[in-house]
Amino acid sequence: MPGFELFGDLERKEVNDVLDNGVIMRYGFDGMRKGHWKAKELEQELQNTFQSKHVQLVSSGTAAVSVALASAGVGAGDEVIMPTFTFVASFEAIMILGAIPILVDIDDTLGLNPEAVEKAITPKTKAIMVVQMCGSMAHMDALQAISNKHNILLVEDACQAIGGTYKGKPLGSIGDLGCFSFDFVKTITCGEGGAVVTNNEEYYTNADHYSDHGHDHIGNDRGAETHPFLGYNFRISELHAAVGLAQVKRLPEFLEIQKRNFDSLRNALSEIPEVTFRTVPEGGVESCAFLNFFLPDIETSRKVIEAFKEDGVDVCWNYYDNNWHYIRKWDHLKDLKSLFPISTEVKKGLAYLKNAEFPKSDHYIERNISCLIKLSWTENEVKERASKMVVCIKRALKN
């Protein structure tokens, strides 16, 4: 991760195909495009990759979450349970629909804590959104059981987890709907792009229409298409899809490199008794996009991060002090800093955040360090990096 590190001839070929025929929009202009339909081809490839019946490409991972929820009828006043540890896009995608994000604790998987989810369910709960952060998964069996028990949606935000699996199923294909991101720093990239994945034909049809102004996409005259319901513009372009089409064909290559680099770093850190690793549920296989490990306390974590910076060990973070990925510094959400008035229903629904505390989440996030795994590292660079990381951690533990 990320796939842009290994752009090559295949990506150039697919993009040049689009430029040569001159049609960069995914819909319409049938006579001009000389049979090139990159978005359709990419959706077909992703159906195989995700072992799912339906894939709808959209403009981003954030759009994928909004489109997925809207396609299943989630909207004004509905509650969507989500984790305290995720990217800000998760709650943004819920709120744009007028729905209410209900944040609950994580556990040592760095994913949703099933006990916290169970306690958060109310008559307004419409969906549980599990976020498969940093290439791994939450306790999916327990979350699926809760979803079934209460007859509510299970939605997977697998934007950071392409290539991970649970009991043989690709992450993102387990819930009622799955969401993926193909932005610039993902394992496969379109530059900007995302996908909604589902086995439910109704949700797929809704996603197809909703993401393109409500167009029904029947016939070959775009101007004559009907609009069964309101929609918005979450389309991907043919240029972005062309890049993704090349990248998805290379996914096995990328995953092999990620795993090799991940294993080298993990094996080195395993020699330090004070280092422990996130729990991966039995039957789960990480995508190896990130290496996540825990240290004894927050003071040590902060010392290690500073040591990494001083020694040139990049792309490692302690999310407790990060503005984008953890509830602690989401003041714009807690204070509802919006450019436009937020509905009274959402204001009331989010009032709990003003005084909410998440000590169980703090316990894991403050001690966690997450390191992105690059595809472009040479074998020597990985060895050198592992050595530096060990030295930095041991030094921090002594001080």
Q: Beta strand 125-131 with 153-157: parallel, antiparallel or unpaired?
A: parallel
Query: Which residues, including other chains, have CB under 8 Å from residue 352's CB and lie 6 or more apart?
Result: none
Count other Cβ atoms within 10 Å, centred on residue 20. Answer: 10
Which residue among the candidates 38, 126, 186, 303 is catalytic per the annotation? 186
Q: Is residue 197 within 8 Å of residue 179, measured between CB atoms?
A: yes
386 membership: H or E segment, kind and range: helix 379-398
Place of tokens 């939450």: 138
Q: Could you write out the DSSP letters of every residue in 352-381?
A: GGGT---HHHHHHHTTEEEEEPPSS--HHH
Nearest residue to 41 (alpha-carbon basis) of 248, 183, 189, 233: 248
Gap between the Cα atoms of 293 and 111, Å rounded: 14
Q: Is 186 a catalytic residue?
A: yes
Torsion angles phi and psi, residue 103, rounded to 5: -85, 135
Gap between the Cα atoms of 163 and 287, Å rounded: 5
Q: Beta strand 276-277 with 290-294: parallel, antiparallel or unpaired?
A: antiparallel
| Active site residues per annotation | 186
